[in-house]
Structure 1
Amino acid sequence: MVGVSVGLSPIPFYTIGMFAPELSDAFGWSFSAMMGSIAVQSIVVMLVSPFAGYAVDRFGARRVATVSLFCFGLCFMSLSLNGGSLTVFYAQWVVMSVLGAGTLSATWTYVVNGWFDRHKGLALGLASAGTGITGFLIKPFTAWLITEFGWRIAFAAIGMLPILIGIPVVLLFLRERSASGEPVVPAIEEDDDQPAPAASAGYSLKEAMHQKNFWILVVAFLLIAFSLTAPTPNLENILRTKEFSLGQIGTITASFGLAVIAGRLIGGWLLDKAWAPLIAFFILMIPAFGCWMLSMDDLGSTAAFLAVAGIGFGAGFEFDLLAYLVSRYFGQRQYGLIYGCFYTVIALGGGLGPVVYGHIYDTVGGYTFPLTAGALIVMVGGALLMLLGRYPDFDRSQESAQFAGTLGKTAA
């Protein structure tokens, strides 16, 4: 949870809005140009996530997290040195996204999935709640730093968080699980022909891609990510079109962050109680209903509050669900690489969604159609998950492979 909270996912996303007015005053950059840095990060993450996941499988989460937290912190601190070049600013975000990719959820969920089984969903929810904690605390902290010391010192101070908080916690407490339950750092070399140990049993990426479940999840999460991410950066403007005041908009949208935390914890807990695709289908009806409510012309403040909270609940549940399903259906053998591929799918859907919503608003002047369509799309994504079969029994598969290997050696 601590590692997630000081990583690449929450810190830049929740602080760029605080730094934007300062950079605009200092260099004359437009807000749209500065918000383009988030788009740059999304594109880079989409490209490098599989490689970051492969590094976790190859070298271990502890090593990857330590190096990536250090590099991410330095890169974020370097933003304080910009002299006014927007090109250099974008280049800094590219480097930061590449070197900081090891702090994304693939690293942390790899460790959680290795240790937990019966309460896997709740454990994933607790770990990923770190992003919600950062979203709640980082904005007032950033505002205080900027007010007291200026934006350059604020960049440097926030960049120290991954180094001063994240790295000591990782080095002291983060341990990966071996087949015997002992802490271990995976060996660099691996014989793909030998059966995987219990803690890393499962499919390789090549084997996973030959299964229909892999492609069901690709399509389902592309739709889910599109529909849940699209309204998020547009929430303020959606509510403005409903003629809410600025004060009301601030109050209503405050429910989103808390709902994200609730979605991670409650959704993760529910995943342990029954077949995950069935739980997911019913939970995804909550943000679908929220999108439908926001599409209505006659929308009161209470209904708007509940609608925004519903979308936030679904957005918080999304990454827990992905980590849980990848672990259950494909195992730990190449979890990082497989999860990284699905993270690319989510980044693609999440990157397209806000752009499509914004384009439709510019064209027709409203959000009724995209919100209604989004409600249907997220339900279709949830329904696709129902096509997944029962969880594979990797322990039994491993025992069969070991038995076959023993017979082969005996015959030889």
Structure 2
Amino acid sequence: MTVNNTGAWGIAKREWRANWRLGLASLIGTGACLSVWPSVSSLFVGPLQEAFGWSRGEIALAQNASLAAAFISPALGRLVDRIGVRPVLLGGLLLTAMAYFLLAIQHGPLPLYYLFYAVLCLVGTATTGLTFTRVVSGAFVGSRGLALAITRSGLAISGALLPSTIFAIIANYGWRMGYVALGVLILLTALPTAYFWVRGASVVAPRKQDADRRQASMLQLLKNHKIVLVCLASALNYAPIVALLSQFQPLLVGKGLEAASAAALIGVVGVSALVGAVVTGLLVDRIWAPLVACIFTLGPALGCLLLLPDSLELWVAIVALVLLGLGQGAEIDVVAFMIARYFGMRSYASIYGLSVLCIAVMIALQGSLIGLSYDYFGNYNVALVVAAACFVLSAFSYLGMGRYPSSEPSPVEAEPVVITPAAGVAHTK
């Protein structure tokens, strides 16, 4: 890989001048699609309890649908590597909006809710970092960390704004309109920007002869212990945050906060995630990414411990949520950066799909157990301690990645990217 060495900011300016449409479409899509669901899912727990008489544990069992998405993620990633990002992404956007509408028209029984939730998880997988980080990582090289951070800020912004908005919609128009609003958001923002702007060499399929010759099999990928390590570390980091977010409003209410205040405080996680995404994005372009990941993963462990008291002071709750948000904002950026930096772009989506598999299995486990833990113990304290332990284990697992390769993988693994001094346009040889 050769890059015109005129400084990090000069490289970033040239790359964004050439690829700003891809970056903006990814920012909007990341903030509007399935990745934002964990930030608002807890707002539907109470209304569903009231409407259908389901327990929190029964509602939380819907998280097992993540298992179905988990097992298709590696295959979906391999499909992205073979046919390109665009067709997979556009189909996923449309189907995810339809899945929200299915949840809006449900009238029970509980198995039907589980079915619709499973559909959302399955089709929504195509609208997550599996596709959007592939778009960004392929288009940006010298400023990849910053580009991933800017893209990730879309999720942070929506995580800050959507909880209060969806809470207000549910309070005034009912929970069904909450689901409708999420579907309409995709149709009005993510789908049109992806359709018009997700184009170009970085998102098309590789030539068939190259794909057949160069793309590693799943078994070959799994034999690489660093791929397994980054997948496990990301799962132990991200899954506890998703599990806690799925029950955050009732958790905070149980600690003595008002329902509206609890919903508003969830937005603190979104604001903090924005800060975490931008800071880590700037850092990983300059500092060893596993060290950055370790530091930003230890913060959420402390945040979980701060949430343990039965009666929370408002400032303590804010500090805890800030720490959790910083960790959430850092995780996706750093993992996407490390996959590209350690393994290249040829099998990027396949490796990312494996990480999604690990994350989804862990989400299904922890997302279900957190609700059942409440049903059994009457509080979320045991779940908070387990989550803190997962964060600590994840933090030190990142350090096992070792040094970067001397350069990004050879053409057998990835197409080398060159930034031309004249035009500043990234292209593949």
TM bucket (normalised to shorter chain) is 0.7 to 0.9
Do the aligned partners of 1:59 and 1:188 also contact (CA within 8 Å) in 2? no
1:6 maps to a residue whose letter is A
1:283 maps to a residue whose letter is F
Cα drift, residue 135 of structure 1: 2.9
Identity %: 28
Picking from 258, 282, 285, the partner of 1:269 is 282
Any stretches of 5+ residues in structure 1 without a counterpart? 179-183, 197-202, 403-412
Quick one: structure 1 residues 302 and 216, their matched pair in 2 at CA, closer, same or farther if it must change by over 3 Å? Answer: same
Paired residue for 1:213?
Answer: 226
Picking from 131, 137, 144, the partner of 1:113 is 137
Quick one: structure 1 residues 286 and 77, their matched pair in 2 at CA, closer, same or farther if it must change by over 3 Å? Answer: same
Picking from 312, 324, 329, the partner of 1:316 is 329
Paired residue for 2:338?
Answer: 325
Picking from 204, 207, 229, the partner of 1:185 is 204
Structure 1 range deviating more: 354-363 or 272-281: 354-363
The size of the alignment, in residue pairs, is: 389
Question: For the pair shown, which has the larger CA radius of gyration, 1 or 2?
Answer: 1
Distance 2:128 2:143 in 1: 22
Do the aligned partners of 2:293 and 2:334 also contact (CA within 8 Å) in 1? yes
SS across alignment from 1:167:
helix
Paired residue for 2:422?
Answer: none
Cα drift, residue 253 of structure 1: 4.3
Picking from 94, 99, 107, the partner of 2:118 is 94
Do the aligned partners of 1:16 and 1:35 also contact (CA within 8 Å) in 2? no
1:361-412 deviation per Cα after TM superposition (whole angstroms, max 9, x unaligned): 555555556544543432232112212122224557339999xxxxxxxxxx
Distance 1:400 1:337 in 2: 12
2:36 maps to a residue whose letter is P
Do the aligned partners of 2:227 and 2:351 also contact (CA within 8 Å) in 1? no
Cα drift, residue 144 of structure 1: 5.9
Distance 2:105 2:375 in 1: 36
Cα drift, residue 204 of structure 1: 5.3
Paired residue for 1:133?
Answer: 157
Distance 2:46 2:358 in 1: 32
Distance 1:10 1:156 in 2: 15
2:205 maps to a residue whose letter is P
1:121-151 deviation per Cα after TM superposition (whole angstroms, max 9, x unaligned): 2211221222233333434544565677666
1:219-254 deviation per Cα after TM superposition (whole angstroms, max 9, x unaligned): 323332354444444545555565556576556544
SS across alignment from 2:199:
coil
Structure 1 range deviating more: 221-230 or 264-273: 221-230
Do the aligned partners of 1:205 and 1:334 also contact (CA within 8 Å) in 2? no
Paired residue for 1:6?
Answer: 32
1:331 maps to a residue whose letter is G
Do the aligned partners of 1:228 and 1:315 also contact (CA within 8 Å) in 2? yes
Do the aligned partners of 1:50 and 1:339 also contact (CA within 8 Å) in 2? yes
Paired residue for 1:293?
Answer: 306
Matches within 5 A, 1:10-409: 10-11=36-37, 13-14=38-39, 16-17=41-42, 28-30=52-54, 32=56, 35-36=59-60, 38-142=62-166, 155-156=179-180, 158-178=182-202, 185-187=204-206, 189-192=208-211, 194=213, 205-236=218-249, 239=252, 243=256, 249=262, 252-295=265-308, 300-360=313-373, 371-372=384-385, 374-393=387-406, 397-398=410-411
SS across alignment from 1:387:
helix
Distance 2:256 2:378 in 1: 14
Structure 1 range deviating more: 141-150 or 374-383: 141-150
Cα drift, residue 343 of structure 1: 0.7
Distance 2:41 2:389 in 1: 32
Distance 2:376 2:382 in 1: 12
Structure 1 range deviating more: 295-304 or 274-283: 295-304
Do the aligned partners of 2:43 and 2:263 also contact (CA within 8 Å) in 1? no
Distance 1:33 1:249 in 2: 20
2:88 maps to a residue whose letter is V
